[in-house]
Amino acid sequence: MSFFSWVADAWEFAKNLIRKVAQFVTALFIHLLSFAKHIVNWFKDPNRLANLRKNKDVIAVALKENLDSNNYNVVNCLYNKATEEVVDISDSALYEAEDLDSKTENAFGDKPMIVLN
């Protein structure tokens, strides 16, 4: 699989996952999405950390989608690599932001998904 093929597959996966999560989770609309405040702190919840520690197939992911409105959708969720499903979609967080702080922009770069280990 070429790098470009992998990127295209990752992008399609990210868009589909964002849509699925958006169907179940109400979006929190914010002006500026802060990497530390909105992304990292969400994953520091004790229940989420316990879920990550007890199952090595579960990873913490944040997915970004650029919207036609020039805003961003960012989804935080726990994802099971073995089953290829979100662990608990009702426990996911969806943010729609007008802008991203520099740490968030740097973390995503030109990728639609980041994995927080």
**What does the pLDDT look like over 46-68, one tens digit per residue?**
989 998 999 999 999 999 998 88
The one-letter amino acid at 108: F
State the residue for tokens 């597959």. Answer: 9
- Residue 29's beta-bridge partner residues? 96
Q: Tell me the two tokens of residue 20.
A: 């699925």
Count of residues for the chain? Answer: 117
Domain ranges in the chain are 3-116
Phi-psi region of 79 (alpha: psi -120 to 50; beta: other; left: phi over 0): beta
pLDDT greater than 60 at residue 3: no
State pLDDT tens for residues 65-105. 988 898 999 999 999 999 988 888 888 899 999 999 999 99
